[in-house]
Amino acid sequence: MADLTDKQTFSDEDALEFHRSPTPGKISMAPTKPMATQRDLSLAYSPGVAIPVLAIAADADKAYDYTSKGNLVAVISNGTAILGLGNLGHMASKPVMEGKAVLFKRFADVDSFDVEVKTTDPDEFITVVKNIGDTWGGINLEDIKSPECFVIESELQDLLDIPVFHDDQHGTAIISTAGLINACHITGKRLENIKVVLAGAGAAGLSSIGLMKAVGVRAENTVIVDRDGVVYKGRDNVDQWKAAHATDTPHRTLAEAMVGADVVLGLSAKGAITKEMVASMAPNPIIFAMANPDPEITPEDVASVRSDAIMATGRSDYVNQVNNVLGFPYIFRGALDVRARQVNHEMKVACAQALAALAREDVPDEVAMAYRGRKLRFGPDYIIPSPFDPRLIWYIPPFVAQAAMDTGVARKPIEDMDAYRTELRSRLDPSAALMQNISGAVRAAPNKRVVFAEGEETAVIRAAWGFKQAELGTPILLGREDLIRQNAAEAGLDFDAMGMEIVNARVSEHNVDYTDWLYARLQRRGYLRRDVQRMINQDRNYFGAAMVARGQADCMVTGVTRNFNMVLKEVRRVLDVKNRMIGLSILLAKGRTLFVADTSIHELPNAEELAEIAIQAAETVKKLGKTPRVAFLSYSTFGNPPGDRGEKVREAIRILDQRGVDFEYEGEMPPELALDPEARAAYPFMRLSGHANVLVMPAIHSAAISTRLVQSLGGATVIGPLLVGLEKSVQIVSLGASVSEIITAATFAAYDEGAAVES
């Protein structure tokens, strides 16, 4: 089998092995209801299933309430235009359709199954899909050749009362239109003035030029070229779909049409655009060479004749990939969530404009990780969001849903769009709901001044920017102002517009006060005044903690450039412990929120320390709005087998019994007893009223290993460890933490300080 491209980064056998092992194919089905008991089986099938059957028989729309229809999309093809490979038959399309189903689930949590139809006759195809269409909440048509695809989509949309969307047309149109909006933004060109040439008048090309007209491109400024030349008014042998875009133009070839053009859209074949054509274009040309697997012209060839071009392709190994995965998952997510009857023109425009707006935002670190650390920022090499941007799931669908509501095709309007965004975040990020609650409390509380100690680091600067932009408080960056501003500018952030606060420890008006105060604190611990002066001048952790201690700030976040233990020692020289200090990690898995302690402070806690850890963890969980149920975990179960560590846990229980604490606790026990009340039949004396949500570990190694193991296996999201118990709120992130991790820590710091003030 021949390689598909000269830049392919895997072998043909690699691709076959990926699809073959460990299980053939890329999708499977997972039940959403338990099948553990006879009652479960009776409810899921006979006789319980008869009840929703009768309800749906009386009202077909009840299928949305009692079945998976509302989150189910069919990916349907007859294989007549598979990728760039042509008509290879319906079964040859199955790997592509499975792949589409996987992308629906991965990027938008939409359940999807593939359907391959064995016919090339459009009428037959329409009849098949019409008769099975009510099964789904939407239909994604795929890899159907032009012009039949136009007829099939149009007729099915008329016949069915659900969205029918041909992604090869509209997906490419949406993404390329978003890219065009931003390319014009960068070059200073206006949509209504640009001259656009389309090379390739197939389904994707015609849909793209149509959508671009909808956002402002003038019809008279467009020229369409197919394999026979320019599509001009009066030309013979032009079908109705091409004729709709024909213009009065003297040009008859692609080369003629591209002279002085601002934009060329390539949706044809490798080599269709030459260097000479590119050289003839207007200043700052916009070139979207989107043929797959090889573009009409490579970025290397464009760069050899033009240094002012903005380039996009359909390939992931070049910048600005026009990737349909940026469109179809979020179009359907928004459409399904309002039970839209169709995906109309306005919904596509809304999606394109939202994608363009998102690309202009600061790019999260998660995206850089997906691109091996390459930093991306809005500009000529980044005009389209990355498919790995975690914000897509909650940023794009609300615009689509709103457009559906505004145009009257939504059957279930969304009343609270902010709540909808929160719900969307939670679909792929288990921590989203918790963080939304914490962030809401921080915004509602009096404004907190948060010190970002390592203020010269680009990640910290971006985190402080994001923190303020989200209106979570007032960030204070510690460092040299010139360097902070330089790094901010390189990251594309305008500090003057945002009004960011910068403090240089060495020249601060509080320098002497902090030195005197800290010297009085440390003078009997072996420190000379000059030592303390050096610490305040040169170490931002000391200076930042002193700011918090002396009331010039409320809380602090640090740790990006130093390891946890070193930072904690520095902070502890400035701030006292109010209560027992612990590290508390938050573990979110399978719809559950668990709090794990102690994950960072006490290496081998004794019984008294274990009891104190439980008390501090329970108090913190209460502040986070949860009712604590504490389980002391162990390798042993209520004394069996016996051992030293188990005895320490049992002694901790006796200490809590004597203190009469106001929360549920039990131990010692293995995880299954803590988390599954049904597993407790042999232990009727257990005091927990439900599953435990606070897990106290017997030692730091078991706490750290267990949380990291679960996280590494992909079974959970872990936040923290959060530092709890200091007199003032300080959060220490991990070495090299991402922007989102720093913002999360700063938010918890502000929340903890607010809770402490109120209590």
Give one DSSP letter per residue of 162-219, joined into a string.
Answer: S-EEEHHHHHHHHHHHHHHHHHHHHHT--TTT--EEEE--SHHHHHHHHHHHHTT--G
Distances (CA, A) of 596 to 314, 547, 592: 45, 30, 13
Is residue 78 predicted with pLDDT exceeding 50? Answer: yes
Cα–Cα nearest to 15, from 96, 107, 113, 100: 96
Q: pTM for the full model?
A: 0.71
Once rounded to an integer, what is the mean pLDDT over residues 381-405? 93
With contact defined as beta carbons under 8 Å apart, do 375 and 459 qualify?
no
Is residue 717 predicted with pLDDT exceeding 90? Answer: no
236 Cα distance to chain centroid: 49
**What count of residues does the chain have?**
759
Hey, which residues are catalytic here?
45, 100
Name residues whose C-beta falls within 8 Å of residue 348's C-beta, 6 or more positions apart in sequence: 170, 173, 174, 211, 214, 331
Once rounded to an integer, what is the mean pLDDT over residues 388-398? 91
For residue range 298-345, list pLDDT tens digits in order: 999 999 999 999 999 988 888 899 988 999 999 999 999 999 999 999
Cα–Cα nearest to 97, from 162, 157, 27, 202: 27
Give the integer Cα–Cα distance in Å for 211 and 345: 8
Give the integer Cα–Cα distance in Å for 385 and 358: 7
Cα–Cα nearest to 666, from 701, 693, 704, 640: 693
Give the integer Cα–Cα distance in Å for 102 and 403: 26
**In the structure, what pLDDT confidence band is assigned to residue 4 with cuts at 50, 70 and 90?**
very low
With contact defined as beta carbons under 8 Å apart, do 582 and 605 qualify?
no
For residue range 476-534, list pLDDT tens digits in order: 999 999 999 999 888 888 777 777 899 998 889 999 999 999 999 999 999 999 999 99
Lowest mean pLDDT of 166-175, 490-499, 562-571, 738-747, name the range: 490-499
For residue range 592-625, list pLDDT tens digits in order: 889 999 888 888 899 999 999 999 999 988 888 7
What pLDDT sits at residue 470? 85
What pLDDT sits at residue 435? 78
- Tokens in use for 349? 């425009």
Q: What are phi and psi of 390, to 5 degrees?
A: -70, -10
Neighbours of 447 (CB within 10 A): 14
H-run or E-run covering 141: strand 138-141
- The one-letter amino acid code at 681 reads A
Percentage of the chain modeled with pLDDT above 90: 62
For residue range 188-199, list pLDDT tens digits in order: 999 999 999 999
**In the structure, what pLDDT confidence band is assigned to residue 430 with cuts at 50, 70 and 90?**
low
H-run or E-run covering 720: strand 717-726
